[in-house]
A and B are shown apart, each in its own frame.
Chain A
Amino acid sequence: MKTMKLALAALAGTLLASSALAQDKPKELVVGIATFLSGPASVFGVPGRNAADLLIAEINAKGGVLGVPLKPVYVDEGAGTNQLLSEYRRVVQEQGAQVMLGAISSGSCNALAPVAEDLKVVNVMWDCGTQTIFEDGKWKYSVRTQAHAGAEMMATLLYLMKVKPDFKSVAVVNQDYAWGRESWALLQAGLKALKPDVKVVAELFPKFGAPDFSTEITRLSALRPDVVISTSWGGDLDTFVQQAAARGLLKQSTFVLPLAESSLERLGNVLPEGVIVGSRGDHYWLHPKYKSTPEMQSFVKAYKDKTGVYPIYPTFHMQQALTGLVKAYEKAGAGGKWPSKEEVIAAFEGLEFKSLTGTITIRGDHQGLEDQLLGTTKRVPDYPFAVYDKMALYPGKLVTTPLGEKSLDWFAKVKPDLVTDKSIETFDYAK
Chain B
Amino acid sequence: MLLLAALDGLAYGSLIFLVAVGLSLIFGVLGIVNVAHGSFYAIGAYVAAAGVLAISAAGLPTWLAFPTLLIAAALVGILVGGLVEIALLRRVYGKEEVLQLIVTFAVFMILEDAQKVVFGVQPYFANAPMNWLGTVEVFGIFYTTYQLILMPLVAAAVLLGLRFFLRRTSFGRAIVAVTQDREAATAMGIDAARVYLITFIIGASLAALGGALASATTSLTPGIGAGTLVLSFAVAATAGLGRIEGAAVAALLIGLGRSVAVYFAPEFDVLIPYLIMMLVLLVRPQGLFSTVQTRKV
Binding site for B on A (CB under 8 A): 38-40, 42-43, 45-46, 176, 202-207, 209-212, 214-216, 218-219, 221-222, 234-235, 238-239, 242-243, 246-248, 266-268, 270, 309
Contact = CB atoms under 8 A, between A and B. Distances in A.
B266 A214 contact: no
17 contacts: A42-B222, A43-B121, A43-B221, A202-B266, A207-B269, A209-B227, A212-B12, A214-B11, A214-B147, A215-B5, A215-B262, A218-B7, A218-B143, A239-B218, A246-B144, A266-B123, A270-B127
A266 B125 CA distance: 8
B223 A242 contact: no
A43 B227 CA distance: 17
Interface string B43-56: 00000000000000
Most chain A CB neighbours (cut-off 10 Å) among B5, B262, B269: B262
Given A222-B4, A309-B122, 11 more contacts: A39-B223, A205-B269, A211-B228, A218-B7, A218-B8, A218-B141, A221-B141, A246-B131, A247-B143, A247-B144, A270-B127
B224 interface: yes
B130 interface: yes
B181 interface: no
B227 A211 contact: yes
B262 A246 contact: no
B271 to A, nearest CB: 10
A83 B8 CA distance: 38
Contacts of A268: 125
Nearest to B12: A212
A235 B144 contact: no
Interface string B211-250: 0001001111111100110000000000000000000000
A269 to B, nearest CB: 10
B37 interface: no
A211 B127 contact: no
Interface string B6-48: 0111011001000000000000000000000000000000000
A215 B219 CA distance: 17
A274 B245 CA distance: 46
A234 B123 contact: yes
B110 to A, nearest CB: 13
Contact of B217 (A43, A219, A243): A243
A214 B12 contact: yes
Contacts of B218: 211-212, 235, 239, 242-243
Contacts of B222: 38-40, 42-43
B141 A239 contact: no
B100 interface: no
A176 B130 CA distance: 27
Instruction: List 9 A-B pairs, minimum CB-CB distance, nearest first.
Output: A235-B221, A238-B219, A215-B8, A40-B223, A215-B262, A42-B121, A211-B218, A207-B270, A235-B219
A242 B219 contact: yes
Contacts of A238: 123, 125, 219
Interface of B: 1, 4-5, 7-9, 11-12, 15, 112, 116, 120-123, 125, 127, 130-131, 135, 140-144, 147, 214, 217-224, 227-228, 258-259, 262-263, 266-267, 269-270
A204 B262 contact: yes
Contacts of B214: 211-212
A205 B228 CA distance: 18
A214 B8 contact: yes
Nearest to A234: B221
Contact of A205 (B15, B112, B123, B266): B266
A42 B220 CA distance: 12
Most chain A CB neighbours (cut-off 10 Å) among B135, B143, B219, B227: B219
Given A38-B116, A246-B135, A222 B141 contact: yes
A270 B126 CA distance: 11
Contacts of B127: 242, 246, 270
Contacts of A45: 121
Contacts of B4: 218-219, 222
A201 to B, nearest CB: 12
Nearest to A176: B270
Nearest to A241: B219
Most chain B CB neighbours (cut-off 10 Å) among A215, A235, A270: A215
A43 B142 CA distance: 31
B125 A222 contact: no
A212 B141 CA distance: 17
B221 A203 contact: no
Contacts of B270: 176, 206-207
A270 B144 CA distance: 15
A225 to B, nearest CB: 14
Contacts of B224: 40, 209, 211, 235
Given A218-B4, A238-B123, A247 B12 contact: no
Nearest to A263: B123
Contacts of A215: 5, 8-9, 12, 258-259, 262-263, 269
Nearest to B16: A212
Contacts of A207: 227, 269-270
A84 B51 CA distance: 36
A176 B270 CA distance: 9
A267 B124 CA distance: 10
B90 to A, nearest CB: 30
A221 B130 CA distance: 19
A202 B263 CA distance: 9
Nearest to A243: B217
Nearest to A249: B142
Contacts of B123: 43, 234-235, 238, 266
Contact of A40 (B8, B125, B221): B221
A42 B221 CA distance: 9
Contacts of B217: 211-212, 239, 242-243
A1 to B, nearest CB: 68
Contact of A219 (B7, B15, B220, B263): B263
Contacts of A216: 262
A235 B220 contact: yes
A10 to B, nearest CB: 58
Contacts of B258: 215
Nearest to A246: B144
Contacts of B131: 246
B53 to A, nearest CB: 11
A109 B214 CA distance: 34
Contacts of B269: 204-207, 215
